């Protein structure tokens, strides 16, 4: 049974219709005046509904495969977000991607070790944050390799799972930078729905074996994702934490986009430049200067 990972964070308040006086008939009583906050909430809920739709499509494909005794759904069938399929047209049909698909299939079906995240969440980052909504990119390395941790979003864990140390440090920096209260859960999906792409460089991993799927083709695919964003969009903020993520800067047009670098938020390096980087407030300042709504980082 596939567990749900998306939550209804909030519903838009009932839309109040403007009062009309008896002596003024210039505006139709059906006209609705929305505040900027109401518009943001409506847009948020539309994006959330789209993400839930994509998740259900992937879950249904897995259920259908299971019902006919198949252990695996082909990778190219699990990337279902239309805007990414258009932006990355043909990428998963390339030779390297077909070899990657064969490798992942063999790992799921024959490795004898659980592969994370669950299949329906492998492309969760792309299926949750459409290409046309991407405003911020946070790059991780590979999925968490403990049971129940990986959900296809860098640094994020499902509700009810202990918050990892790196994410705890991210919350601490958010508190110091923007005054955000520190949440008790590690589910970052609310960021994704607002346009924050939480992209790992490698999208699958063996249980308890960090980097076990590195060098198998995922890096080439996610590099293509980064390059596609760089080439086809403008004004995206890339948050590159640690040496691994910073190496991706060569894929990004620094004239068209904004690149913010710091140490990694892990316990080993957060004190060497992540704490105090103020990347969250800087990101919102950049977005506002570009005329885009800032990210509500509070979870």
Residues 6+ apart with CB under 8 A from 2: 59, 62, 63, 118, 120
- Kindly list the distances between the CA atom of residue 262 and the CA atoms of 168, 193, 238, 278, 280, in Å, as whole numbers in the listed order: 16, 24, 11, 10, 12
| Token pair listed for 25 | 């008939």
269-272: long-range contacts at Cβ-Cβ below 8 A with a sequence spacing of 24 or more? 269/242, 270/166, 270/169, 270/173
DSSP state of 295: P
Which one of 8, 132, 142, 253 is the catalytic residue?
A: 142
The dihedral through the CA atoms of 137, 122, 52, 54 has a sign that is positive
Contact 277, 169 (CB under 8 A): no
Catalytic residue status for 142: yes
DSSP H or E run through 140 = strand 136-140
52-58: long-range contacts at Cβ-Cβ below 8 A with a sequence spacing of 24 or more? 52/6, 54/80, 54/81, 54/127, 54/128, 55/5, 55/6, 55/120, 55/124, 55/127, 55/128, 58/119, 58/120, 58/121, 58/123, 58/127
DSSP state of 183: P
Map residue 237 onto helix, strand or coil: strand
Active site residues: 142
């Amino acid at each position: 049974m596939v567990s749900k990972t998306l939550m209804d964070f909030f519903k838009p308040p009932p839309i109040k219709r403007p009062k009309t006086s008896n002596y003024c008939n210039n505006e139709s009583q059906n006209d609705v005046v929305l505040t900027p906050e109401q518009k943001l909430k409506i847009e948020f809920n539309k994006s959330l509904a789209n993400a839930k739709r994509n998740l259900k499509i992937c879950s249904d494909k897995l259920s259908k495969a299971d019902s006919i005794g198949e252990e695996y759904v082909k990778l190219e069938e699990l990337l279902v977000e239309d805007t990414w399929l258009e932006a990355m047209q043909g990428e998963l049909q390339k030779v390297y991607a077909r070899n990657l698909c064969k490798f992942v299939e063999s790992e799921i079906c024959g490795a004898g070790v659980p592969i994370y995240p669950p299949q329906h969440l492998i492309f969760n980052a792309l299926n949750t944050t459409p290409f046309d909504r991407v405003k911020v990119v946070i790059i991780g390395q590979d999925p968490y390799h403990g049971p129940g941790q990986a959900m296809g979003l860098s640094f994020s864990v499902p509700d009810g799972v202990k918050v990892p140390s790196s994410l705890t440090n991210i919350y601490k920096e958010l508190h110091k930078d923007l005054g955000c209260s520190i949440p008790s859960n590690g589910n970052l999906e609310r960021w994704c729905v607002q346009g924050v792409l939480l992209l790992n460089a490698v999208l699958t991993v063996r249980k308890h074996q960090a980097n076990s799927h590195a060098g198998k083709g995922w890096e080439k695919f996610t590099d293509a994702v980064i390059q596609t964003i760089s080439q086809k969009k403008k004004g995206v903020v890339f948050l590159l934490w640690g040496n691994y993520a910073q190496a991706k800067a060569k894929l990004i047009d620094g004239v068209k986009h904004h690149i913010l670098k710091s140490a990694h938020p892990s316990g080993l390096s957060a004190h060497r430049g992540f704490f105090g980087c103020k990347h969250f407030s800087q990101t919102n300042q950049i977005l506002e200067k570009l005329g885009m709504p800032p990210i509500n980082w509070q979870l």
